[in-house]
Amino acid sequence: MLLLQAALCFSSNGLAVLVAILFLRDAGGQVAARLGAAVFLCSIGYSLNLLPGPLRLPEPLYIAAALMNVPTLGLNLLFGRALLLDGFRMGAREWFLLVVLSLLMLLVSRPLIGLPSPGQGLATAALGLAGLAVMAHLFWIAATEYRTDLVDSRRRVRIDILVFALGNTAVVSIIELRGMSIVAEGIAFDTGTLVLSSTIILWITRTDPMRLFPPPAKGSPAPTEPKETAPRVALGKHRLLQAMEHDEVWRDETLTITSLAGRLAMPEHQLRALINKEMGHRNFAAFLNGYRLGEAKRRLANPEEAGIPILTIAMESGYRTLSTSTEPSRPRRGDSIGLPGESDQGKYQRR
């Protein structure tokens, strides 16, 4: 068993390093890629700390591995949010969550680094609850954002990676709660990391096998099935714009991509492709908010509607609720007005 764990540990950690390198090489400018690389690198510390008996690291390296694992829970939360949410960025709230979860991990890791550990049971219980909260939060985002994501390949890949990673975490947590041996915990964690890393590497480095092994020429190529004709795409786009700009269906706060497809008598997959590929939108909610935000800005700039509360304007523009930071009252001159779906850079100034 020790030999098996050693083989799994060092092979999975090697692949984790390779995944981090690929993330940074191919998308190092994106927050999600940098967070993903940090997750895989920091998880190596947890794997190394699970090596038992004769495989245990020397004391300085053992402590370094324990400290390396400290930010893992917070990084997993942020990485999951970055994968699932468009426009994710590291703001003050994200850094605060990372620090808090890292401090909680540090409290639990005190016995590993030779520090006094009063209240260890309470800290361990709090960490377990925090881990469950992180998993529940990410699953909730995955479930609620799945329908509005217009990029089909991204929907599938992101959900698959997230479900597998969280499933592996759940298995390791169950082993810990049942008090099973550290060898079983290490084998479970390293096996999950090995499978996940291998899958990501194969997906990132995939290539057309015909480039390496081209088939022999067989005369003229077989005719391919024609793609969707331009007139059909143009007709679908015309009907969509008619519904959005003339019928103003975006005012319906219950509108979903499924109900819109039914209204247009159009297959949902065709509508997704139209909004994503032809009109350049990656998320259905963002597509709707473009119309809603424009209407809200127009009305807020209209002096004749100065007596109408912001909340009323927002609700009549199709928003279900306003963010908690927005008061349902008329702002003072020069105040910044933040509406749902509007980035910090795009907040409207009422003059």
Between CA 5 and CA 55 the distance in angstroms is 9
- pLDDT attached to residue 207: 61
Architecture of domain 230-349: Orthogonal Bundle (1.10)
- pLDDT attached to residue 144: 77
- pLDDT attached to residue 90: 93
Domain boundaries, the chain: 2-204, 230-349
- pLDDT attached to residue 328: 39
Domain 2-204 = CATH 1.20.1050.10? no
Per-residue pLDDT tens listing for the chain (351 residues)? 677 878 888 888 899 999 999 999 988 889 999 999 999 999 999 888 888 878 888 988 999 999 999 999 999 999 989 888 878 899 999 999 999 999 999 998 998 888 888 888 898 889 888 988 988 888 888 777 777 777 666 666 666 766 776 676 677 667 666 656 666 767 777 787 788 788 778 777 776 555 545 555 554 444 444 455 567 788 888 888 888 888 888 888 888 888 888 888 888 888 888 888 888 887 788 888 888 888 888 888 888 887 888 888 777 777 765 443 343 334 443 444 444 455 444 444 444
108: CB partners within 8 A, 6+ apart: 120, 123, 124, 127
Between CA 343 and CA 149 the distance in angstroms is 18
E runs forming strands in the chain: 336-337, 348-349
Q: What is the DSSP string of 164-182?
A: HHHHHHHHHHHHHHTT--H
